[in-house]
Each structure stands twice: as C-alpha cells, then as structure tokens.
Chain A
Amino acid sequence: MKIAAAAAAAFCIAALGAMPAAAVTYPAGGVTAADVAAALKDQGLEAEISIDDWGDPLIKSGSGPRTWHILFYDCDSRKTRCASYQFRIGLDLSNGITHARCNEWNDTKRFARCMLDDEMDPYLKWDLEAVNGFTSEALAASIEHWTAIVPGFASFARSESST
C-alpha cells in the first residue's frame, strides 16, 4: 500500500505539473466575494466587501484616482458563492454624454460596454461568468483587463464627442 500510495502521489503530481502552480479552479457554483477580494489584493488593489440592496455581496475597489465596484449575481441561497460578477463604474459629468458618443464606444471597443442613466451620465459595465470551470487565472486576467479599460473610458467620456 505504501509503495502504491507513493507512486500514485508521484504520478498525480507529475500529471498536475502541467498546470500552473497557483491556478485554482473554483467550484461549479462560482466565486465568493472573498475569492475576488483576494485576487484584487494580489494586484495591489483595495477590496472593501459589503452587501448590496439585494443582499448579495458587493466589493468597492478602485484603480488610480477612480473608485469602482464589483457586483455579484446569481448567488447561492446563502448569498456567498455567485455564478457571475460585474465590474461597474459610473462617471458623474456635468453635462453627461450623448447617446451617439456612448454608442461609438459600444461599436468600436470590446468587452465592457457604455450605458447612460436618466441624466445621461455614462456607466461602464462588464459582466463575467464564473461558473463551470472558472479559474483563478481567468479571474486575475479579468481584473487586469478591467483596470486597463477604465482609464480609456474615462478619457473617452470626458473628451468631446467625435460624432
């Protein structure tokens, strides 16, 4: 048994060696706010966990001068593990932006999308699915990607409409 167990362990370690060391595949139900907060902190970002109006987790974070949020959706009955999450930032501009400008973003950029509220203030949001085979690497990549998109959106929204 001892030999078999040792051999089994060695074989499994060898088989797993093909996977990056720190990669974790999250459970089928998705991610917790703690999982996402840990990923944010790994990238030197703040993560303040609270609860939104629907009882789901909410994370307040930010990059550079900007504050943004991560909302959690499709959470389990304990409101702990959630099947999807959404990065979101709203910009309070004195005159808002036009529909044409927001559409220009949506037509020419990828991943995150622009939307306007009743006051024509622009929001950027990006929804991601975290179920069925979602990994810590994919989560980290989404955070890196989001923090790269946000400054471009802020400049885009603040600059004169080109349309």
Chain B
Amino acid sequence: MKPLAAAAVACAVAFTALPAAAVTYSPKGVSAEEVGAVLKAKGLPVEITTDSGGDPMIRSSSEGLNWLVYFYDCRGGRCTSIQFTAGFDLDDGLTYAKANEWNFTKRFGRAALDDEMDPYVRYDIDTAKGYTSESMAYALETWLLIIPAFSDFIGY
C-alpha cells in the first residue's frame, strides 16, 4: 500500500503541470453532452436537440443573442467537428462588401450572406485527434467575443 500511496503522490506532483480538469477527448470526437458541459461551465444555457440531418444540435445564447452549435461527421454520438453559428435577420440585409470587410479584417468567425443577404457568422472547430476540453473552453471564449463584435459590425 505504501508504495502505491507514494506513487499517487508522485503522479500528483507530475500532473500538477497540467491544469486540473483537462481532458483529451476521444479520437472519435466529441459528444453533445461534452460540448454542453463546457457551455454550462461558462454559465450558458444548453438545450440539446437534433438537427434536420439527425445529428446533435445545441441551442444556446449569450448577451440576448441566440446561437447554435452544429455537429458534423458524427458516428455513435461522437462528432469530429462542430460549428458555432449565429444568424442575424436584418431589414435590408448586408452588402457583400461589408461581409468581405469582416472576413478581411477579422481573424475568427466566417461571415456569409444568405439568399436574402442576411448575415451569418460561423466558427468551425475540428474536434478529433488530440482535441482537449481546454481547447474547447478557449474556442468558446473566442466565440463569445465574436458574436457581440459581429453584431456591432453589422449594426444589429
């Protein structure tokens, strides 16, 4: 027993270099529950549902703006990529030039216009092969900065 206790101490010391709650997700990707847990840890609402293609989907919101997390390339409930997306219904839509200005000058969040010239901002993340809960939490932080910045940019 004693050597094991020593081992536990040694490991605890070895692992203090790693943040306490860090998890490397399955190489098969993330589940909606795992992504939901990261959102909840930030105090965000999480409603897990299913999209029209049968993949998981999360509805959430921040600062009064609704947004979604789509899941892609899913198998057995694990998905190798996700997409944060927010759409904005504007009376007159946005110009291509303005959307391009966002894409040219900003680093995260891809702007696109739909058929009615209404803007969307999307942020895609690969979640297979070495993706960690820390990276997910950081990606969420970035997304939470993108939404208000995009909203301001388009004059929503």
A39–B61 alpha-carbon span in the complex (Å): 37
> Interface with A: B46-54, B99-107, B147-155, which one?
B99-107
A50 interface contact, C-beta 8 A: no
Q: Given A12, A84, A127, which contacts B10 in the complex, CB threshold below 8 Å?
A: A12
| Binary B-proximity of A89-115 (CB < 8 A = 1, otherwise 0) | 000000000011011001100110111
A140 interface contact, C-beta 8 A: yes
| Binary B-proximity of A54-74 (CB < 8 A = 1, otherwise 0) | 000000000000000000010
With A12-B14, A129-B135, A133-B19 as contacts: A115 and B126 at CB distance below 8 Å:
no
With A12-B11, A114-B103 as contacts: A138 and B139 at CB distance below 8 Å:
no
CB distance from A156 to the nearest CB of B (A): 14
Q: Is the CB of A100 within 8 A of B96?
A: yes
- Identity of the chain A residue whose Cβ is nearest the Cβ of B139 in the assembled complex: A129
Q: Is the CB of B134 within 8 A of A106?
A: no
Q: Given A102, A111, A129, which contacts B100 in the complex, CB threshold below 8 Å?
A: A102
A20 interface contact, C-beta 8 A: yes
Q: Is the CB of A99 within 8 A of B7?
A: no
With A8-B11, A107-B120, A110-B72 as contacts: A136 and B103 at CB distance below 8 Å:
no
Q: Given B72, B104, B122, B134, which contacts A133 in the complex, CB threshold below 8 Å?
A: B134
For chain B, give the interface size range.
35 or more
With A116-B104, A141-B129 as contacts: A133 and B22 at CB distance below 8 Å:
yes
Q: Given B4, B96, B128, B133, which contacts A99 in the complex, CB threshold below 8 Å?
A: B96
With A135-B24, A137-B130 as contacts: A73 and B107 at CB distance below 8 Å:
yes
Q: How many residues of chain A have a CB within 8 Å of chain B?
A: 45
Q: Is the CB of B6 within 8 A of A4?
A: yes
Q: Is the CB of A106 within 8 A of B129?
A: no
Cβ–Cβ < 8 Å partners of A103 in chain B: 96, 99-100, 112-113
In the complex, chain A residues 26-55 whose Cβ is within 8 Å of any chain B Cβ: none
Please report B residues at the A interface, Cβ cutoff 8 Å. 2-4, 6-11, 14, 18-19, 22, 24, 27, 72, 81, 83, 96-97, 99-100, 103-104, 107-108, 110-114, 120, 122, 124, 126, 128-135, 137-139, 142
Please report A residues at the B interface, Cβ cutoff 8 Å. 3-5, 7-12, 15, 19-20, 23, 25, 73, 84, 86, 99-100, 102-103, 106-107, 110-111, 113-117, 123, 127, 129, 131-138, 140-142, 145
